[in-house]
Chain A
């Protein structure tokens, strides 16, 4: 069974440009999460999808970030326009169930975003 995949693995863009990160969850997992770690900080939650619906987007830093999950399969996270402080590693995770603290989340390898 394929794990969570993320693309690209690394992206370098200039300040003001747009970048789109993609996450493919494990097949059949309705729950998809985005997290990020910016330089020197802890991993922080961004948002949670259940199928195509945003269940919790309390961690999204500002309106320059837009997450979508059309059709309830893969998800994209767009940053527009990118700022220097957006540099970091963006992780995606998926899980088969929500609404319970019982189940683990499966993480992808992350996308390293560098804004210059």
Chain B
């Protein structure tokens, strides 16, 4: 599985947008970009995924660079409940297991 690189931690103010970056320079043409998050004392939770085009859902938006070597998870208005570890994961076209890295610890200040 291709590797991703994320900042160790980020901080945001409540009600402000948050942009969480992820680099994946070795991504292959059939790799999907998935984002999961893990809230304190809970299991990981799916956030969003995409292949080439930007994606939006009720939780977040995913912006994918044109060359697909990087992507950004966008939380439009951070709340205290968004404080979590965010994982950027590449999944092959036929990928099953998730390969977690260290992720980005997001802290949200009130």
B interface, by DSSP: helix, strand, loop or mixed? loop
Q: Point out the residues of chain B lying under 8 angstroms from A98, CB to CB.
A: 96
Q: Judging by beta carbons under 8 Å apart, are B94 and A105 in contact?
A: no
Q: Contacting chain A: which of B10-18, B72-80, B97-105? A: B97-105
Contacts of A93 in B (CB 8 A): 43-44, 98
Q: With A56-B96, A101-B95 as known contacts, state yes or no: A106 contacts B101, CB within 8 Å.
A: no
Contact indicator B45/A107 (Cβ below 8 Å) = yes
| Among candidates A59, A91, A101, residue contacting B94 with C-beta atoms closer than 8 Å | A101
Residue B86 is within 8 A (CB to CB) of chain A in the complex: no
B46 contact set on A, CB distance < 8 A:
104-106
Q: Which of A24-71 contact B (CB under 8 A)?
A: 31, 33, 35, 42-45, 48, 55-56, 59
Q: Which residues of A contact B (CB under 8 A)?
A: 4, 31, 33, 35, 42-45, 48, 55-56, 59, 91, 93, 98-102, 104-110
- Contact yes or no, B96 A55, CB < 8 A: yes
**Which residues from chain B contact A100 at a C-beta distance below 8 Å?**
93-95
A77 CB to nearest B CB, Å: 15
Q: Do B95 and A42 touch (CB < 8 A)?
A: no
Could you show 15 A-B contacts with beta carbons less than 8 Å apart? A33-B96, A35-B98, A42-B100, A45-B97, A48-B97, A55-B96, A59-B97, A99-B94, A99-B96, A101-B32, A101-B93, A104-B34, A107-B45, A108-B43, A109-B43
Specify which chain A residues have a CB less than 8 angstroms from the CB of B110 in the assembled complex: none
Given A43-B44, A100-B93, A110-B43, are A105 and B98 neighbors across the interface (CB < 8 Å)?
Answer: yes
Give Cα A44 to B45, complex, Å. 15
Say if the beta carbon of B92 comes within 8 Å of chain A. Answer: yes
| Residue contact A31 to B96, C-beta cutoff 8 Å | yes
| Cross-chain contact of A48 among B30, B96, B102 (Cβ < 8 A) | B96
B91 at the interface (CB under 8 A from A): yes
Shortest distance from the beta carbon of B91 to any chain A beta carbon, whole Å: 3
